[in-house]
Amino acid sequence: MSGQPKTTNNLQLTTNNCFEEMKEVRRIVSLALEARAKVNIKVRQPLALLKISSSKFQVPNEMIELIKDEVNVKEVIFNDKIADEVELNTKITPELKKEGDYREVLRRVQELRKERGLQPGQLATLATSAQIAATGLLQEFETELKRIASLEKINHGVLADSDFELR
C-alpha cells in the first residue's frame, strides 16, 4: 500500500491551482469589462485586441480562450510595457462593426422569439424591412443566423412599418 502514489494530494494541488487560475481569469475579465464600460463599448461589439501585463498575469494558455470569449476580443497578447494591467484596442474596424451589428440583430431576433413564446428549436420565419435588407448584413450572415436563431426562412425587404417581425 505504501508504494501507491498519493493522488489525493496531487488532486488537491491541481484543484487549488485551478481555483487560483480562475480567480485570476475573473479578475482580468473584470478589468477588461471595466475598460470597455469606460469607453461605452458593449460586450456584443467584438474588439481586435486585449493586452495583458504579463508580469502580473500567470495562467495557462487554455484560459486565454475563456478570456477572449468573455471579453469578446479576437486576440490576447502579453506586454510588459503597458501602463495598466489590461489595455483594450478600442478601434472598431468595418469588419468588427459588421460583426457587432450582426450580434445586435441576433439579440433582437432572440428577444422576438421570447416575446412570441417560441420554444428552443421551434422554427420561425423572419421578415425584415427594405432598409435592413439594403445593408446586406443578414444576407452575409444568413446561414449562421438561421441556425442559431432557429429560423426556417428569412424574407428580406418585405416589411414597411418595422425592421423585424417573426412569423
What are the strands of the beta sheet with 47-52, ordered from one edge? Answer: 73-78, 47-52, 86-89
Q: State the residue range of the domain holding 76.
A: 8-89
Q: Which residue has 486585449 as its cell numbers? A: 50
The answer on pLDDT for 6 being more than 60 is no
Q: Evaluate whether residue 56 is within a structural domain.
A: yes
Q: What is the per-residue pLDDT across 147-159, written as a single tens digit (0 to 9) for each?
A: 999 999 999 989 8
Number of domains in the chain: 2
98 and 162: one domain? Answer: yes
Mean pLDDT value across residues 105-113: 94
**Given pLDDT bands bounded at 50, 70 and 90, which one contains residue 24?**
confident
111 and 147: one domain? Answer: yes
